[in-house]
Amino acid sequence: MARPPLPPFNEATAIEKVRLAEDGWNSRDPAKVALAYTPDSQWRNRAEFFTGRAAIEAFLTRKWTRELDYRLIKELWIFAGNRIAVRFAYEFHDDSNNWFRRVKAQTTPAPYLECEKLKNRGDEGARACYQKLAQSRDAWAKAEGLWGLGDLYGAFD
């Protein structure tokens, strides 16, 4: 099921997409957040790798059990066509009332999105697309290619 707003993005739809994601995460409802991702989504959190909505929901349940009063702030950084890059910060406290803040940036390279489209359509060209990315001189593109080929550890070397 497609969830609007969909690419290609203009400024208004890119901001809307970022706000919807921010609102979803701030609900702290693992089932709701997991539904925003494809059934075969692959995630990495530090040294933990997992696939699928059920695993995402379980991860978020564990996360928000430890990270109390979690609050996310997402900001559109840049957009172009099918790509959105965001900066985000989140904060939380632990059960001893120690507060933490994380600041990160997130974007998806356009070539990776093309490989994902092929994969999601069941196109046999997806593997070749990922292999081409994995041979890239660009570290980010190479990591995304290795990730798409299932070499999760190589993607983080």
Alpha-carbon distance of 156 to 143, in angstroms, equals: 7
Read off the pLDDT of residues 23-55 as tens digits, 9 standing for 90 and up: 999 999 999 999 988 888 888 887 788 889 999
Q: What is the average pLDDT score of the chain?
A: 86
Q: Which residue ranges form the domains of the chain, and what is each CATH number?
A: 1-107 (3.10.450.50), 109-157 (no CATH)
What's the predicted TM-score (pTM) here? 0.68
- The C-alpha atoms of residue 143 and residue 151 are separated, in whole angstroms, by 9
Residue 25 near residue 33, CB atoms below 8 Å: yes
Q: What would the pLDDT profile of 57-108 be if each residue is shown by its tens digit?
A: 999 999 999 999 999 999 998 877 777 888 899 999 999 999 999 998 777 6
Q: What is the model's pLDDT at position 152?
A: 81
